[in-house]
Structure 1
Amino acid sequence: MAKIILPLAEIQVRNAKPRDKPYKLFDGGGLFLDVACSGSRTWRFKFRQKNGKENTLTFGRYPEISLLEAREKRLEARRLLAHGIDPAKHRDDAKRLALEQASNTFEKIAREWHANKVPTWCKSTAKNILRRLEVDIFDEIGDRPIGEIRHRELIAVLRKIEQRGAGEVAHRMKAVCAQIFSYAIQCGLADRNLVVDMRDVLKTRRGSHFAAIDADELPAFLDALERQAARMYMPTRTALRLMLLVFLRTSELIETPWSEIDLEKGEWIIPWQRMKRGRLTVNPDMTNHHVCLSRQALALLRGLHAITGRSKHLFPNQRDHERPISNNTILVALERMGYKGRMTGHGFRALAMSTIKERLGYRHEVIDRQLAHAPKDKVASAYDRAQFLAERRKMMQGWADYIDAVVKDSHR
């Protein structure tokens, strides 16, 4: 007949004194209080594993763990056993998981995510995203386990960015954090993407286009460019005039190496890998872009070649000739002309699009191809580019002649 064990009373546990030898006070169901010679009292649980071997699980010391709490732990362990789970292994796995989660901080996971994405980004994008994380996010929550971060913590970080007047940056970092949490969920390190529920925590952004002048403002702009010409470096003057004549994206222009231009043939072909749509990771547009040089643009390039032709780029950086000038060079030049907030590098594209359509009468599709926009008909995209090439050359010459006529009219 099995021995009947009477449950312990709280007073028995409290009054358990040390003896010459360690002894045990049993509560039943495998739970007992281990009393050491030193006087320490520890709750333990004895159970039998699947293979029949006995094992002992430690619950903690009394009085930190009370009799009631020890019984609750016993009940939890017996439930695990009833489901075929070893409570000792379950405890070790839980400890291991807790340590792993504590080590998987937001900064660690963010850097892993960033490293995985780097091959799909251009260098400037990768650099800018990491810098913004380091400046705005890591100092605030970088050392927090990603699975423990709460909504209010992340909202406070994003609003701090917004409150300094950087609303656009706050929205961008919110989007970046959403991707980082998504990555953590896929890696089994977080259960929820906090950013999904943050649609209205930041101030709504007003949609806006890049600042650009219109056709009626072109004469005044050309006059300002001519008046400021003497105060600019010759390459900077040429960059602004080429932006006006060929209306490339700023980065596509300033990063151009001389190797892409054949001054003898008057050709400028940009490899597709350097174009915006060529850098897409999914279905990149692998069509080289023909800039279609007018006589005026070709004359500017020949004059520029006499000055920077020995450098790698059309517009070499003054401090490091192996690198091109920065986008900021164009913006600073426009600011000195008095066009801060009124015109940007991208604004030259908008100006050309609207003016060529309205004043020169060219079809939208032809201008769109020259702007290297994505054609709506993907299947016919390569054919259309070749089909419009002759018309685009004619259009670009007409655009350059139109600008010359504007300058002459303004001098009358």
Structure 2
Amino acid sequence: MERWYFIDTRGHASTNAALRLSPHLFQRPGEIRAMKWVDVNLDEAVWTIPAGETKMRREHRVPLSRQSVAIIQSMKGVSDYSEFVFPSYNPNKPLSENAVNGALKRIGYGGVMTAHGFRTTASSLLNESNLWNPDAIERALAHQDSNAIRAAYNRTAYWDERVRMMQWWSDEIDNLKLLNGV
């Protein structure tokens, strides 16, 4: 059984939802935990992370799969009182830095998986699939080209491919759950 997808109903709703969403989005854990309602457009299935809240200080748009939209929508009744999709016990603050990592430890993945590890897993498996342009994968991870000249000229967002890729990736996660009886 894939325990990383296990939902501990005794745990905090925000932690459970952030843990479930992390593998689907494979964004930086700090960005996921601080996700704000104002930055999420569920009708258009896009999360726009403002420049001031990203590591690279550039706005980053993330296509949301059907599964991601459903997980975020599940927080509607829970966190409507907060600006954060995943508030801590104090609705004026997001989840703590260690919330998702703590949940991973509680379900038996301490020392094996971290919240940031979902990025590595997604990048590796998407690249191994040979279905997606490596540049689209890098853009999905909010990475900039390491070649400064290429980065200066190639500003392609690969948006349409990233939308398809994110849905394919979420479907793959669902397939893994089915294979493992979760």
TM-score, length-scaled by structure 1? 0.42
Which residue in the other structure is 1:317 paired with? 88
* Structure 2 counterpart SS, 1:225: helix
Question: Of 130, 133, 138, which residue of structure 2 is paired with 1:368?
Answer: 138
CA distance in 1, matches of 2:138, 2:104: 25
Instruction: Find the residue that maps to 1:291 and give its secondary structure.
Output: strand
Distance 1:364 1:404, change over 3 A: same
- Alpha carbons of structure 1 residues 265 and 228: separation in structure 2 relative to 1, 3 Å: closer
The aligned residue for residue 308 of structure 1 is 79
How far apart, CA to CA, are the structure 1 residues paired with 2:6 and 2:133? 34
Q: CA deviation at 1:312?
A: 1.1
Higher alpha-carbon Rg: 1
1:265 and 1:228 map into 2 onto residues whose CA distance is: 27
- In the alignment, which residue of structure 1 is the partner of 2:175? 405
1:268 aligns to 2:57 (yes or no)? no
1:350-375 C-alpha deviation (Å, 9 max, x unpaired) = 00000111136322211100000112
Using a 3 Å threshold, how does the CA distance of structure 1 residues 252 and 227 change in structure 2: closer, same or farther? closer
Letter in 2 for 1:256: M
* 8 Å contact kept, 1:228–1:337: no
Cα separation, 2, equivalents of 1:294 and 1:326: 25
Equivalent positions of 1:237-248 (< 5 A) are 237-248=16-27
Give the match for residue 65 of structure 2: 294
Equivalent pairs counted in the alignment come to: 179
Structure 1 residues 236 and 298: alpha-carbon distance in aligned structure 2, compared to 1, 3 A threshold: same
Segments of 5+ residues of structure 1 without an aligned counterpart are 1-219, 279-285
In 1, Cα distance between equivalents of 2:72 and 2:130: 25
Correspondent of 1:353 among 114, 117, 123: 123
Deviations 1:246-271 (A, max 9, x none): 01101111112111012233221111
Closer, same or farther: CA 295–259 of 1 in aligned 2, 3 Å: same
Query: Structure 1 residues 226, 274: closer, same or farther in 2, change over 3 A?
Result: closer
Percentage identity across paired residues of the two chains: 32
- Does residue 99 of structure 2 align to residue 329 of structure 1? yes
**Aligned partners of 2:154 and 2:22: how far apart in 1?**
25
Question: Residues 228, 401 of structure 1: CA spacing in aligned structure 2 closer, same or farther, 3 A cutoff?
Answer: closer
Cα RMSD for the two superposed structures: 1.7
Query: What is the distance in 2 between the residues matched to 1:405 and 1:228?
Result: 17
Alpha-carbon distance in 2 for matches of 1:227, 1:317: 20
Contact (CA 8 Å) 2:140, 2:162: kept in 1 or not? yes
Higher RCO (C-alpha 8 Å, min separation 6): 2
Structure 1 position 378 matched with structure 2 position 151: yes
1:249 matched to which residue of 2?
28
Q: Which residue is equivalent to 1:29?
A: none
Query: Helix, strand or coil: the match of 1:276?
Result: coil
C-alpha spacing 1:341/1:233, structure 2 compared with 1 (3 Å): same
1:56 maps to: none
Contact 2:4–2:109, Cα closer than 8 Å, also in 1: no
Q: TM-score, normalised by structure 2?
A: 0.91
Distance 1:277 1:289, change over 3 A: same
Checking the alignment, whether the CA contact within 8 Å between 2:14 and 2:88 is kept in structure 1 is no
Report the residue type matching 1:395 in the other structure.
M
- Taking a change above 3 Å as real, the CA distance of residues 262 and 401 of structure 1, as seen in their structure-2 partners, is same
* Cα offset, 1:272, TM superposition: 1.6
- Which runs of structure 1 show a deviation greater than 6 angstroms over 4 or more consecutive aligned residues? none
Q: Is the 8 A contact 1:235 1:304 kept in 2?
A: yes
Distance in 1, Cα, partners of 2:112 & 2:96: 20
Q: Secondary structure, in 3 states, of the residue corresponding to 1:379?
A: helix
**C-alpha spacing 1:227/1:253, structure 2 compared with 1 (3 Å):** closer
CA deviations on 1:257-307 (whole Å, 9 max, x unpaired) are 1110122332211112211111xxxxxxx4x21110000000111111221
Quick one: distance in 2 between partners of 1:292 and 1:227?
Answer: 24
Uncovered stretches (5+) of structure 2, i.e. residues with no partner:
none
* Greater share of residues in helix: 1
